[in-house]
Amino acid sequence: MSNIVVISDSHNRLPKTEKFLSILDEADYIFFLGDGGRDIDFLTGAYRSKLHYVYGNCDFRSGRREELVEIDGVKFFLTHGHDYGVKSGLLNLDLAAKEKGADCALFGHTHRPVIEKSGLLTLINPGSIGYDDNYCYMSVYQGRFAAKLVTLTNV
């Protein structure tokens, strides 16, 4: 079984408390969904081998805006979400993720945590780790996954 911590929208306010860093230490993978360029730099230095990330609209960097990651038979589509207009609805993201053959679309941008099913696709926004201490914890095993939205202050 693999465990994933999904974070987004730190806006360079990533919690660096012992509690949160231990959660990252114990994860098999970390997915960062953009808007926190300096935090991406920190995470790359500390967790390079298990980090997958994309840039958001507030990162002002060129480079990866989406990534498809497969773990134990589950395909995750990572994006910040602004390119798909997620503040106006999830249809464009839904269609793009399905076109890519994803099982789960992970996005940020809205700062609102959500887990929503669309047929066989699951759309997940972990919320904002920088403003509200929200993230998503996932477990993947033999082609299946489970996700839970978490607030760091409740851990």
pLDDT in tens, the chain (155 residues): 999 999 999 999 999 999 999 999 999 999 999 999 999 999 999 999 999 999 999 998 888 999 999 999 999 999 999 999 999 999 999 999 999 999 999 999 999 999 999 999 999 999 999 999 999 999 999 999 999 999 998 77
Cα 22 to chain centroid, rounded: 18
Task: Select from 140, 139, 136 the least CA-distant residue to 149.
Answer: 136
pTM exceeding 0.75: yes
What are the residues whose beta carbons fall under 8 Å from the beta carbon of 96, sequence distance 6 or more? Answer: 77, 79, 84, 105
Please, is 18 exposed, middle or buried when counting C-beta atoms within 10 Å of its C-beta (0-12, 13-18, 19+)?
exposed
Distances (CA, A) of 30 to 33, 51, 82: 10, 5, 21
The fold of 2-154 is: Purple Acid Phosphatase; chain A, domain 2 (3.60.21)
